[in-house]
Every structure is written in C-alpha cells, then in structure tokens.
C-alpha cells in the first residue's frame, strides 16, 4: 500500500504491520475531519471526490453507500488500477482508471498535496474536498457514516432508533470478519493464523444464526451494518477462501448468509460495484509470502443470480 514520510513517498514498502507474535495489526487512519452542516466541511453536492480501487473492501463500502443513496452525481470518483505497483495505487493517463480531477499518476500524489505534510500509509478510500484542496478523511467507516448522515436527511442507513445495534454489529464485523480475513491472510505464525481463523468463522456462524430469524442485521431493513459486511462477503469465495487460507467453509456453505448476500447484491446499484475478476487479480498478485509466482486462478465462478428467499430494501 506504500508509505509516506513528511510528504515524501517511500518506494520501499515495509509491508503489513505485525506484532512480535506474528499477528497482523491494521494501521489506524489519521486524516479524520468530519462533514457537518455547520462546516467547515459542509454536505454540498459536487464538492467532494472519492479516490478508490475496485478491489479494496474498505473503498468498496464507500462506493456502496454512494450507490444505494443515489449520490453518484453528488460525489465524483477516481478509480485506481486493480494491481498496485512500486508507486502503490496508480492511475492511467485516461480511461476508466484515469484520474480526471487532479490528473494524478498515483494516489500518493493526492496525499502529497496535504498540509501539513502527511506521514503514514497510502490507503484508499480518500475523500477529497475540491473547495479547500485537501483530504477530508481516509477512514472508510467515517466516510460511510458521513454519507449516511449528512447527505441523506432521512438517515435511512443509520436510523436513530437502531444506532446502538448498528454500532454493535459494526464493531464485531470489523474486528472478526472485515479485518479477520486479513489477520488470517497476513499472519506470520501458525498461532496467529489459528487464532484469526477461529475468530473469523465463529463470527460467520453468529451472523448465519442471526439471519435464520432476521432479514438483515438490524431492524429488518438495509442499514450501514449490512454495507460494512457485504464487501467481505463479495470477496470471500473468490479470494479470501483461497488466497488468505480462510478455508474452513465457503460463503456458499452458509444457507442464510449466502441468501442474504445475494439479496444485498440485488439492491439497485450494488451489483455494479462487485468485480470478482478484479478481486482475483488483486488478491493473487505476486507476493513472496502468499503467491510468489503471481498466478491468478480461473475459478471459482460465483453465481449471484440464484433467486433469494428474502428481499432487502432501503426504507
């Protein structure tokens, strides 16, 4: 993902952060301003721009919120190329992977514009303010919440009556599932891997059992919690199961989770954000530890079109 020191990009990526026991630790996002009606960052249509990558699950959740809330015209977007290079996330000069806003060649050039000079990981998503020419946030959870609260007056993804339950699910999902697959895939010891996989599949069972009696995670309607879980589900069978050794079961082995995932996929706008072949190209990119030859598998084929028992809508 690359790293920047005092505004200067470092080509020697130190790789994922791990503890002395070989456990993966996700770096914390540090650019975390907030959009509010009182400003200085106000929720104005056309003011903000997202820098994302299709294969990044953290960027995916912001694209999901943008799609289901109908904010495509209000918030523009630049999409980085599927595979990172020595420059990190990069753009073409034009086309679907070009940056039409800043004409950047790489995401680190966006971070280089930040003042004071930025030090930290070069990650997506990035929410950019066109007015002040600075990064509002590089924390995906904050971006999703801002879109849900500040750009949708009805707050349909975060209904106040269910906010405590949404936050409860968000915490569990992030710790054990969203980040759990990375804790497994980036583990450097057997002990760290075993712990991560055990936690991951215990959480998957918990969600599976919950969905036996409920249509969604919270309140029988689409909420932010569902959008935060879906990116991991969308990648599970084509990437995490194989590339990250999360192979005690596939998503398709869970009747309720699989039905729920397909029902989410059926919501208008969501299917267009799901890119299985790009996920495989990204997660099976060359890696000394996980895939030294960089061979991308042909399968599996995941059929999202199978009819579902449930229908999920945005209230």
Would you call 8 helix, strand, or coil by DSSP? strand
Task: Give burial (CB, 10 Å; 0-12/13-18/19+) of 221.
Answer: middle
Give me the sign of the Cα torsion angle 202, 253, 171, 128. positive
Spatial CA neighbour of 205 closest among 249, 164, 236: 249
Q: How far apart are CA 217 and CA 203, in angstroms?
A: 13
Please give the Cα distance from 204 to 176 (Å, whole number): 9
Known catalytic residue at 246: no
Q: How many CB atoms lie within 10 A of CB 43?
A: 18
151 and 211 Cβ atoms separated by less than 8 Å: no
Give the separation between CA 103 and CA 93, rounded to whole angstroms: 8
Q: Are 298 and 268 in contact, with CB atoms under 8 Å apart?
A: no
Active-site residue, 182 included: yes
Which position among 9, 24, 48, 56 bears the catalytic label?
56
Burial 138-149 (b: 16+ CB within 10 A, else e): bbbbbbbbbbbb
C-alpha torsion 33→186→260→237, nearest 10: 140
Which residue in 111, 182, 240, 254 is the catalytic one? 182
CA-wise closest residue to 235 among 254, 250, 217: 250
> Which positions are catalytic?
56, 182
């Amino acid at each position: 993902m690359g790293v920047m020191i005092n505004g200067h990009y470092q080509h020697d990526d130190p790789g994922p952060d791990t503890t002395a026991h070989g456990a993966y630790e996700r770096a914390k996002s540090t650019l975390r301003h907030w959009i509010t009606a009182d400003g200085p960052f106000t929720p104005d249509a056309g003011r903000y721009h997202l820098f994302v990558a299709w294969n990044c699950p953290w960027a995916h959740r912001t694209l999901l919120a943008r799609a289901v809330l109908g904010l495509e015209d209000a918030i523009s977007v630049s999409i980085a190329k599927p595979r990172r290079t020595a420059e990190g996330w990069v753009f073409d000069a034009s086309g679907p992977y070009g940056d039409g806003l800043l004409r950047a060649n790489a995401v680190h050039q966006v971070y280089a514009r930040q003042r004071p000079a930025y030090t930290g990981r070069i990650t997506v998503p990035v929410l950019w303010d066109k007015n002040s020419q600075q990064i509002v946030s590089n924390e995906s959870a904050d971006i999703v919440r801002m879109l849900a609260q500040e750009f949708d007056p009805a707050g349909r993804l975060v209904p106040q009556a269910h906010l405590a339950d949404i936050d409860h699910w968000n915490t569990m999902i992030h710790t054990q599932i969203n980040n759990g697959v990375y804790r497994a895939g980036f583990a450097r010891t057997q002990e760290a891997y075993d712990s991560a996989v055990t936690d991951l599949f215990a959480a998957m069972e918990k969600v599976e059992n919950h969905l036996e009696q409920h249509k969604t995670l919270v309140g029988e309607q689409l909420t932010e919690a569902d959008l935060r879980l879906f990116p991991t589900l969308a990648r599970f069978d084509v990437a995490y199961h194989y590339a990250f050794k999360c192979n005690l079961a596939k998503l398709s082995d869970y009747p309720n989770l699989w039905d729920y995932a397909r029902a989410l996929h059926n919501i208008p706008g969501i299917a267009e954000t799901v890119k299985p072949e790009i996920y495989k190209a990204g997660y099976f990119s060359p890696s000394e530890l996980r895939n030294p030859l960089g061979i991308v598998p042909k399968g599996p084929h995941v059929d999202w079109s199978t009819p579902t028992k449930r229908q999920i809508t945005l209230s």
